[in-house]
Amino acid sequence: MAAKKTGGLAGISAGTTHLCTVGKEGAGLTYCGYDIYDLADNASFEEVAYLLLRGELPTQSQLDEYVAKIKSKRGLPDALKVVLEMVPGDAHPMDVLRTGVSFLGNIEPEGDFSNQLDTADRLVACLPSMLIYWHRFHTDGTRIDTETDDDSVAGHFLHMLHGKAPSEMHRKSLDTTLILYAEHEFNASTFAGRVITATLSDMHSAVAGAIGALRGPLHGGANEAAMELISRFDSPEAADAGVREMLANKALIMGFGHRVYTTSDPRNAVNKKMSKALADEVGDTVLYPVSEVVEKIMWDEKKLFANADFYAATVYHFMGIPTHLFTPIFVCSRITGWAAHVMEQRADNKLIRPAAEYIGPALKAWTPIEERG
Ligand code: COA
């Protein structure tokens, strides 16, 4: 059916998926048939990763086995560590991950795709290691051990970052954001990954391309941009005046709006609750109130709602995570959705090659170079 607005392929169905519904009546956001609120309340990120990559929730023994497998695949090859040390410390960590995944594709190539699930598990396991190895090497000169005892990806991430095991509240909060970010149907990065996959390319290429797409501020980069916005204001009053002025100047307010959701992003309620709890824990009296004011103005003035990235920003900030690691955390989560889409695309592949409507000049006669100008 023709969509009302077709710019940017809005409203166009570009294929089928078993993995996710976004904004469907009554269902909101679902992964493999499960409501995001049930998953956020009850599941661990590892259960969700298993669900997306294997199509069913695991039994306890399957989950134990999966967690052990992920733990065993966290180590980084020496050659990759050398590359991470060579990437400048002031590079953007999204570029670091893109390079890291691409390099891994050289030293651990996927081959004939018969072990695609192992490739996916390897990426889930080692992306946090890659990111924090690079970060710690360039910030405090430490060559960290990326093989911690933590069972969860969230615990592993925070342990490597801060050099000590996190509190359960912090671990759980990060775990929940990983669940919320894990999958989102044909969003820009996933679609980019599927286009690459459909040429029968390898998973590392699809993921490197997806990371490049996620990096931009209209997509995953919005959580970092939202933090930059929120921390610009030192009081709710300053935020009120500042955001109104930005709107008057037709500026984009990062962390608001969505291509598919029309009245709310279901992930926002969960992130907002966590942001409030963490704000209380750290005694914040500025950032959370500022966020609430921005959210209210955006709804009152533009009927635009906070998307998943808006309160995710302060959730991460209150846990002491540097802003430039926010979008890379999204990668550490969305790798599950991306890899699931790579496998789904391969299972029933067709080259993705749409047509374009030509709006250029009519056919012209060839002009020899000496007769031009
Ligand atoms: N701040 C201010 N205005 C916004 C806005 C925002 N965050 N998001 C949308 N709008 C406005 C647009 O300027 C446009 O106004 P107009 O009709 O007067 O030109 C209108 O709302 C429709 O937006 P449009 O850009 O056509 O929607 P889209 O579907 O193409 O874009 C996003 C969706 C997500 C790219 C867009 O909402 C956006 O840029 N948001 C900020 C970045 C962000 O948070 N991205 C993460 C998404 S999860």
**Alpha-carbon distance 87 to 91, whole Å?**
7
260 in contact with ligand 1, CB cutoff 6 A: no
**Alpha-carbon distance 9 to 5, whole Å?**
8
Query: What is the whole-number distance in angstroms between the Cα of residue 229 and the centre of ligand 1?
Result: 16
Query: What is the whole-number distance in angstroms between the Cα of residue 198 and the centre of ligand 1?
Result: 29
CA dihedral 40, 41, 45, 49 (to 10 degrees): -70
Beta-ladder partners of 29: 22
Q: 272 near 312, Cβ under 8 Å? A: no
Query: For position 6, what pLDDT does the model report?
Result: 62
**Alpha-carbon distance 200 to 188, whole Å?**
19
> Is 245 part of a structural domain of the chain?
yes
In which domain, by residue range, is 300 found?
222-318
Query: For position 4, what pLDDT does the model report?
Result: 47
**CA-proximal residue: ligand 1, atom 19 (nearest):** 250
Query: For position 62, what pLDDT does the model report?
Result: 98
Per-residue tokens: 137: 């090497």
**CA-proximal residue: ligand 1, atom 35 (nearest):** 218
**CA-proximal residue: ligand 1, atom 9 (nearest):** 257
**Catalytic-residue membership of 280:** no
Query: What is the whole-number distance in angstroms between the Cα of residue 225 and the centre of ligand 1?
Result: 14
Q: 203 near 120, Cβ under 8 Å? A: yes
Per-residue tokens: 334: 């969305």
Task: Among 304, 310, 333, 334, say which to mutate for ligand 1: greatest number of ligand atoms within 8 Å of CB.
Answer: 304
Ligand 1 atom index nearest CA of 251: 2
> Is 87 part of a structural domain of the chain?
no
CATH number at residue 299: 1.10.230.10
Residues of the chain under the 70 pLDDT cut: 1-6
**CA-proximal residue: ligand 1, atom 15 (nearest):** 250
Query: What is the whole-number distance in angstroms between the Cα of residue 218 and the centre of ligand 1?
Result: 8
**CA-proximal residue: ligand 1, atom 23 (nearest):** 257
Q: 118 near 218, Cβ under 8 Å? A: no
Task: Among 252, 291, 334, say which to mutate for ligand 1: greatest number of ligand atoms within 8 Å of CB.
Answer: 252
Number of domains in the chain: 1
> Is 115 part of a structural domain of the chain?
no
Q: What is the pLDDT of residues 170-202, one digit of tens each?
A: 999 999 999 999 999 999 999 999 999 999 999
**CA-proximal residue: ligand 1, atom 24 (nearest):** 259
Ligand 1 atom index nearest CA of 308: 48
Query: What is the whole-number distance in angstroms between the Cα of residue 258 and the centre of ligand 1?
Result: 7
> Is 339 part of a structural domain of the chain?
no
Query: What is the whole-number distance in angstroms between the Cα of residue 308 and the centre of ligand 1?
Result: 14
User: What is the 8-class DSSP label of residue 112?
Assistant: T
Per-residue tokens: 197: 């996959």
Query: For position 3, what pLDDT does the model report?
Result: 40
256 in contact with ligand 1, CB cutoff 6 A: yes
327 in contact with ligand 1, CB cutoff 6 A: no
Within 10 A of 37 (CB to CB), how many other CB atoms are there?
Answer: 15
Query: For position 1, what pLDDT does the model report?
Result: 36
Which strand (E) or helix (H) includes residue 280? Answer: helix 266-282
Query: For position 151, what pLDDT does the model report?
Result: 96
> Is 328 part of a structural domain of the chain?
no
254 in contact with ligand 1, CB cutoff 6 A: yes
**Catalytic-residue membership of 184:** no
**Catalytic-residue membership of 258:** yes
> Is 277 part of a structural domain of the chain?
yes
Sheet holding 20-24, edge to edge: 20-24, 28-31, 34-35
**Alpha-carbon distance 257 to 240, whole Å?**
18
Among the listed residues 121, 150, 284, 309, the single catalytic one is 309
51: closest CA among 272, 340, 345? 340
267 in contact with ligand 1, CB cutoff 6 A: no
**Alpha-carbon distance 284 to 275, whole Å?**
10
Q: What is the pLDDT of residues 136-165, one digit of tens each?
A: 999 999 999 999 899 999 999 999 999 999
Q: What is the mean pLDDT of the chain?
A: 96
**CA-proximal residue: ligand 1, atom 29 (nearest):** 259
Q: 121 near 153, Cβ under 8 Å? A: no
DSSP 105-147: HHHS--TTSTTHHHHHHHHHHHHHHHHHHHHHHHHH-------
230: closest CA among 301, 279, 158? 279
52: closest CA among 147, 124, 154, 132? 124
> Is 134 part of a structural domain of the chain?
no
**Alpha-carbon distance 371 to 367, whole Å?**
6
Query: What is the whole-number distance in angstroms between the Cα of residue 182 and the centre of ligand 1?
Result: 22
Which strand (E) or helix (H) includes residue 210? Answer: helix 203-214
> Is 297 part of a structural domain of the chain?
yes
**Alpha-carbon distance 172 to 170, whole Å?**
5
